[in-house]
Structure 1
Amino acid sequence: MTPVTPEEAPCVPPPRVPLQRHSVRRQVLDALRCALVSGELAPGEVYSAPVLALRFGVSATPVREAMQQLASEGAVEVVPNRGFRVARRSERELAELAEVRALLEVPVLLTLAAGVTPERWERIRPFADAASSAAATGDRAAYLEADRAFHQAVLALAGNQQLVVIADDLHRRAQWPLPRGGAPRTADLLADAAQHVALLDALAASDLDTVETLAREHFIGG
């Protein structure tokens, strides 16, 4: 895998820089996720654990463990005796994930809109602002993390941790790279972030019709 500059992929540690001993697997997993959403790890390509281990300055073991986690999430596929192939996401798969997310989250949002006070919604505002700021940079990886943080914060108001975990897993599965050339433009990220703000305003106003419309558009569109 060709090394990239920090400007090209700021969330991925530079080659051969040793990671901290604590939580090595977590650091490798986070770095690999960033490389996936940025497109540095390309759909359809096979990567070996030893080669990636050299990049991160660690042994192959934490890389294999991180890749097995990604395999369980559907981001990569195990290729016996070769390594791991980055999975391709078809438009159909993305549409199905969007539909499942809508089925799960829209009813929750409607319930929250009817019962959560405007003051509590204002505590979520910084998450929407952070997503907007990340979108403005054009950094897809940074935006997707901010996007997930916003949705986690909203769903957490339901008080059901299992809901947050399941919804976040679906969200992450929908974030892996699109086919080559399919990465969203900065304008697309800004439009998606603007939906967060509009949705938050509707939730705070207990405008159920607008909440449902915006939420469905958000999931189908993103």
Structure 2
Amino acid sequence: MPHLTSRAIPVQAPLRDQVADALRAALIAGELRPGVVYSAPALAAELGVSATPVREAMLDLTREGLVEAVRNKGFRITEMTDRDLDEFTDIRTLVEVPTVGRVARTVPAEQLERLRPLAQEIVTSAQKHDVLKYLEADHRFHLELLSLAGNRRLVEVVADLRKRSRLYGLGDLDESGRLVASAREHIELLDLIVAGRAEEAEECMRRHLSHIRTLWADGSARAEDGGPALR
């Protein structure tokens, strides 16, 4: 049973949601490994809460496809296959690439510029090797950008895909500078959209999603091999 990094849950917080967030963070950090079965009481002891909110949180993660229940034992962290990664990337490409083009053609530049601080936050977080903040800012940037197309259901679909395709066990991949390179693509993408260069923005988004696919694969491989945790 790994030690979960400094994620004791405040008593006043909504336990179910806070525990779910803590477990998602542990997945990303590589502290919880794909294919391994974890019991609710053991995780509860690590987080300093009772087993009940852990079981409730695990049910939420089960619905997101991140874990699966193992009868009389606990929950197994779902393993991502190459086919899973390819299918998630294919769907996101089909949805996000043309949507970015539409946004570039129709949304005023001053409205798009409101995303600039988020794009910069992604880069800053990557430079500081803070992968959790990087992912949080990345999540907000992509969904807020897509929301400018005016289709709520589209945003919901992409948000669900992002949950199901979380970066498991990134470990120290950021040390190679690859996360910084991926982060800077957000600024490049925003510059192209603000300039109304729709076709180039679509190509940039397609390239960005391809790079994310590679990071998914490498992060999952390190998690399965027991690679180092983030912190």
Q: Tell me whether the two structures share a fold, i.e. TM-score over 0.5.
A: yes
Q: How far apart are the structure 2 equivalents of 1:98 and 1:110?
A: 18
Q: How far apart are the structure 1 equivalents of 2:24 and 2:68?
A: 14
Q: How far apart are the structure 1 equivalents of 2:80 and 2:66?
A: 9
Q: Is the Cα contact below 8 Å between 1:67 and 1:84 reproduced in 2?
A: yes
Aligned to 2:2: 2
Gaps of 5+ in 1: none
Aligned to 1:36: 27
Aligned to 2:215: none
Q: Which residue identity is paired with 2:200?
A: T
- CA offset digits 1:119-140 (Å, max 9, x no partner): 1111000110111111112232
| Aligned alpha-carbon RMSD (Å) | 1.7
Q: Is the Cα contact below 8 Å between 2:192 and 2:201 reproduced in 1?
A: yes
Change (3 A) 1:183 1:175: farther
Moved over 6 A (4+): none
Aligned to 1:53: 44
Q: How far apart are the structure 2 equivalents of 1:51 and 1:182?
A: 23
User: Identity, % of aligned pairs?
Assistant: 43
Q: Which moved more, 1:190-199 or 1:56-65?
A: 56-65
What is the Cα deviation at residue 182 of structure 1?
7.6
Pair 1:25-2:43 in alignment: no
Q: Is the Cα contact below 8 Å between 1:78 and 1:85 reproduced in 2?
A: yes
Aligned to 1:102: 93
Specify the SS of the correspondent of 1:124: helix
Residue from 127, 131, 134 that aligns with 2:118: 127
Q: Is the Cα contact below 8 Å between 1:19 and 1:56 reproduced in 2?
A: no
Q: How far apart are the structure 1 equivalents of 2:72 and 2:109?
A: 55
Aligned to 2:174: 185
Q: How far apart are the structure 2 equivalents of 1:94 and 1:169?
A: 14
Q: How far apart are the structure 2 equivalents of 1:189 and 1:127?
A: 16
Q: How far apart are the structure 2 equivalents of 1:107 and 1:220?
A: 15
Q: Which residue identity is paired with 1:74?
A: G
What is the Cα deviation at residue 77 of structure 1?
1.2
- TM-score for the superposition, normalised by structure 2: 0.85
Q: Which residue identity is paired with 1:214?
A: C
Change (3 A) 1:18 1:146: closer
Structure with the bigger RCO (C-alpha within 8 Å, sep 6+) is 2
Q: How far apart are the structure 1 equivalents of 2:153 and 2:11?
A: 31
Of Structure 1 and Structure 2, the greater helix share is in 2
Gaps of 5+ in 2: 213-231
Q: Which residue identity is paired with 1:206?
A: G
Q: How far apart are the structure 1 equivalents of 2:155 and 2:26?
A: 24
Q: How far apart are the structure 2 equivalents of 1:188 and 1:91?
A: 20
Specify the SS of the correspondent of 1:201: helix
Change (3 A) 1:156 1:72: same
Q: How far apart are the structure 2 equivalents of 1:192 and 1:152?
A: 17
- TM-score for the superposition, normalised by structure 1: 0.89
Change (3 A) 1:18 1:175: closer
Aligned length: 211
Aligned to 1:83: 74
Specify the SS of the correspondent of 2:173: coil
Q: How far apart are the structure 1 equivalents of 2:13 and 2:109?
A: 41
What is the Cα deviation at residue 160 of structure 1?
2.5
Aligned to 2:227: none
- CA offset digits 1:125-172 (Å, max 9, x no partner): 011011111111223222111111110111121222222221111112
